[in-house]
Structure 1
């Protein structure tokens, strides 16, 4: 399982890049300080997940229709014991859910160590799985598709469909973060 120190390093880098968002991470830092196993999906108070914000050359964002939640989300999910880094976990989840391999995407240099966004959202209780309502701290990493291949093989146990959407059509905050990321580093802009 990923070490708490690794997670704290990422949190520190994110807070340095986005100081205006640093206080929103205080509840996660408090869980870590309290000894919570936030890298394990079995931590009932809340845990870390990862998301892949994948842009195609036209600047569209990849979203998948999540089976259990019935919502359109970015590909992503829980950490697994073999994940060395959060970025590795996001690449693994992207491959598992969509069939898009690490070779089909690139990570803009500015965003290799720091996610473009960290979102906290509440997951409803799932009595069937014996899970209480809990928080997901979703660390979202930016990826760009390379080449022209766009075919996907969806993991139908979790994903019902996939679409490429204009970022504004998906989530206002994700769209704003992506615009800021691309503005901050011209090398991070998708080829037009």
Structure 2
């Protein structure tokens, strides 16, 4: 009997930069990118041989130009996401309450605006994956799923 192929998935890293008033930074995606026009936190996917913390710090620096000390990056949530196309992704979500520098749009070809939002009341134009992350973040849950049905192989 042949074994099924080993399950593989993309690992996403996201950073919820939290201001003293509790608002978090979201970026409005723009151009020829996934979810153009919608809001998401600074983040992206891991590169080859990159630990999740290093990927999170790299993405924040690339996208909004701030530096976060590794000690100021805190794990807050893991989300196993399934895209509408059926692709599995594991999202590792971190928070940061301290950083060096002022957030700016460093990727204008991929982002049209930086927006500070109340995570308990996310705007309706968030990427659905982002809305799920914010909901779980506010509830304090450490692990969740998004986009999966309750039946194996089904789409939610």
Structure 2 matches for 1:1-192, cutoff 5 A?
Answer: 35-36=6-7, 38=8, 46-67=9-30, 68-70=34-36, 71-81=38-48, 83=50, 85-103=51-69, 106-107=72-73, 111=74, 115-125=75-85, 133-146=86-99, 149-170=101-122, 171-177=134-140
Aligned-pair CA distance for 1:138:
0.8
Query: Normalized per residue, which structure has more helix?
Result: 1
CA distance in 1, matches of 2:10, 2:62: 20
SS of residue in 2 equivalent to 1:150: coil
Alignment RMSD, CA only?
2.8
Matched-pair contact (CA < 8 Å) for 1:154–1:161: no
In structure 1, stretches of 5+ residues that fail to align are 1-33, 39-45, 126-132, 181-192
Say if 1:146 and 1:102 are closer, same or farther in 2 by CA, change over 3 A. Answer: closer
Aligned to 2:149: none
Matched-pair contact (CA < 8 Å) for 1:57–1:145: no
In structure 2, stretches of 5+ residues that fail to align are 123-133, 143-156
Matched-pair contact (CA < 8 Å) for 1:62–1:74: yes
Query: Normalized per residue, which structure has more strand?
Result: 2
Aligned to 2:127: none
What is the aligned residue count? 124
